């Protein structure tokens, strides 16, 4: 039986790797999720035959309750709220790893020194991922402010982490009993909260990716503790892919991961920038339609505002109308547009936009000077020219989409508010930029009707 279980885990590992590989492309991402789901199903079924397994009733109840909750929430959640759902689910994985560590450490007897060390490390990382992900969820959901910064915050964070490390060492190398273990986990949970509090909303994609890596790492450690090959492989794959994605996201913002975690970007203290002069110049839908319909190239830049308005279907309808008039239409996606990696790609795919019309920053930036119109809908920080021009700006040095270099820029925006990073966008004040005010879906509908009249 043991050989069958291990063979099943090997099959699950292969399926996980195939699934993640297929998720790397929008064309195959859907099937990748199915492959990964089969991997999880295979590993779960095999685990029921693990020697000494008992409490089957509790297992079935837990799986049943979890499956129902996941199915209902997965069906009901909107794409706008998908990032916070991912943060919440990711936190649950880290919390599960922490619980496994706590239970194994409470048993105590029969654990090797190496096993205890791995259990403590996995418990620390899992607890941090759990509480940190919950704070990320609360920020994305609007339950709490985007960034909380107070004097001496980093010193307090360091003190809490050092205290947790000391207690972890005590648990590793002494027979300390349950009290130090409980305090260790409380400190780990507190550190996850404190580490996430000062991180601004604009950094949430990086933070979610980082906690995903943390959860994978914690699961991998606990796999060693339980001698469970499936957990080791799955945790390692998730941890490594999450780490790589975190590095790529930070690179897309031209910032180090340490800067994301400790700079307080997006907080009130970091939002000071030079005074912007000039005024917004409004445009009506008819004039905006004429600009686009009688041009030769239009580049559409979607952002989180498009997700909020659920305007992706209308935007694609507009793009199709323009294409019928012989106009080249392309979509430009910034790596950190939205609230999670790939957010805009998923929305556009949902609307039926062909993959060959969607371009990332490196592919599309050189084309903006040839574009008659850059249509920006709901994007803000990723098209802000201060990233190139103002060394005092918190986003200075971040690669942006060069929408400002188009011959004309039309921005669909509900009002004069700043983006998620809280920074004024100088693009909106430029001579070639016009503001089309309104909800994204409603404004796109007006543009569609105006184009049809031409």
Residues assigned a catalytic role = 381
The DSSP element (H or E) to which 198 belongs, if any, is none
Compute the distance between CA of residue 261 and CA of residue 40 in angstroms, rounded to an integer.
Answer: 32
Phi-psi region of 419 (alpha: psi -120 to 50; beta: other; left: phi over 0): beta
CB atoms within 10 A of CB 306: 30
What is the residue whose two structure tokens read 């409004």? 282
Taking the CA atoms of residue 73, residue 76, residue 80 and residue 86 in that order, the dihedral angle to the nearest 10 degrees is 20
CA 29-30-35 angle, 5° bins? 90
Compute the distance between CA of residue 396 and CA of residue 253 in angstroms, rounded to an integer.
Answer: 9
Q: How many residues does the chain have?
A: 454
The DSSP element (H or E) to which 50 belongs, if any, is none
Is 73 in contact with 39 (CB distance < 8 Å)?
A: no
Q: What's the distance, Cα to Cα, between the start and end of the chain in Å?
A: 72
Compute the distance between CA of residue 360 and CA of residue 344 in angstroms, rounded to an integer.
Answer: 11
Would you state the structure tokens that stand for residue 275, as one six-digit string?
């005074």
Would you state the structure tokens that stand for residue 194, as one six-digit string?
């404190």
Is 375 in contact with 412 (CB distance < 8 Å)?
A: yes
């Amino acid at each position: 039986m043991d050989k069958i279980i291990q063979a099943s885990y090997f099959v699950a590992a292969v399926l996980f790797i195939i699934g993640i590989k297929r998720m790397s492309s929008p064309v195959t991402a859907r099937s990748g999720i199915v492959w990964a789901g089969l991997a999880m199903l295979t590993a779960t079924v095999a685990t029921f035959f693990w020697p000494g397994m008992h409490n089957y009733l509790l297992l079935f109840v837990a799986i049943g309750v979890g499956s129902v909750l996941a199915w209902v929430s997965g069906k009901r959640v909107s794409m706008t709220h998908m990032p916070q759902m991912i943060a919440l689910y990711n936190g649950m994985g880290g919390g599960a790893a922490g619980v496994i560590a706590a239970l194994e450490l409470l048993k105590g007897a029969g654990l090797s020194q190496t096993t205890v060390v791995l259990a403590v490390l996995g418990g620390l990382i899992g607890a941090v991922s759990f509480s940190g992900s919950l704070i990320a969820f609360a920020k994305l959901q609007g339950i709490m402010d985007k960034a909380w910064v107070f004097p001496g915050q980093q010193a307090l964070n360091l003190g809490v982490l050092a205290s947790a490390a000391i207690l972890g060492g005590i648990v590793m190398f002494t027979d300390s009993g349950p009290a130090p273990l409980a305090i260790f986990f409380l400190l780990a949970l507190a550190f996850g909260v404190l580490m996430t509090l000062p991180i601004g909303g604009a950094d949430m994609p990086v933070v979610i990716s980082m906690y995903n890596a943390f959860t994978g790492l914690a699961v991998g450690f606990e796999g060693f503790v339980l001698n469970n090959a499936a957990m080791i492989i799955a945790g390692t794959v998730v941890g490594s892919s999450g780490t790589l994605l975190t590095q790529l996201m930070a690179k897309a913002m031209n910032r180090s991961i340490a800067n994301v975690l400790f700079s307080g970007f997006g907080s009130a203290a970091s939002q000071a920038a030079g005074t912007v002069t000039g005024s917004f110049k409004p445009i009506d839908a008819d004039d905006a339609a004429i600009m686009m319909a009688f041009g030769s190239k239009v580049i559409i830049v979607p952002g989180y505002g498009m997700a909020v308005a659920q305007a992706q279907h209308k935007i694609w309808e507009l793009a199709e109308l323009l294409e019928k008039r012989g106009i080249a239409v392309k979509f430009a996606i910034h790596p950190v547009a939205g609230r999670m990696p790939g957010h805009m790609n998923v929305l556009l795919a949902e609307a039926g936009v062909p993959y060959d019309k969607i371009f990332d920053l490196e592919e599309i930036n050189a084309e903006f000077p040839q574009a008659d119109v850059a249509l920006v809908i709901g994007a803000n920080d990723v098209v802000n020219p201060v990233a190139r021009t103002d060394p005092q700006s918190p986003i200075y040095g971040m690669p942006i989409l060069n929408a400002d270099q188009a011959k004309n820029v039309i921005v669909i925006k509900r009002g004069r508010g700043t983006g998620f990073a809280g920074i004024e966008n100088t693009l909106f004040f430029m001579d070639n930029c016009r503001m089309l005010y309104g909800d994204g879906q409603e404004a796109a509908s007006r543009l569609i009707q105006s184009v049809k009249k031409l």
